[in-house]
Amino acid sequence: MEKSISTTMSSLAQTLKRYFKKPWEITGACAESEYKLAVPSALEYRVECLATTKVQAYVPTSNQETMYDIKYFTRDQRRNWPPIRHTVFRKVNVEKLMK
């Protein structure tokens, strides 16, 4: 008896769901037949792990003499400053400069 009541209620609920729609399903973009939900399902989202790669990386090798050095710090002109000179003024030198 209880099973028949629960199945009757669930079938009644399914029937009512067919006729009563959410307000945004009646009008708007999602009411169109061509509308596709923007949020992917759990099985569609990130099928492959980010760490796995399909193709192995190809690293070309050649003679060390013909390879271009891509290190930045060897070409950086800001690091090629001349050594800093420190001058110590004595009182005699300052008096000469003041004259």
Q: 25-78 pLDDT, tens per residue?
A: 667 766 676 777 777 788 877 777 777 777 787 777 777 776 776 776 666 777
pTM greater than 0.85 (yes/no): no
Look at 65 and 9; give whichever has higher pLDDT.
9
Report the amino acid identity of residue 34: E
- Look up the domain containing 29 and give its range: 2-98
Tell me if 46 sits within 8 A of 52, measured CB to CB: no
Question: Residue 17: exposed, middle, or buried by beta-carbon count in 10 A (0-12, 13-18, 19+)?
Answer: exposed
How many domains are contained in the chain?
Answer: 1
Look at 77 and 6; give whichever has higher pLDDT.
6
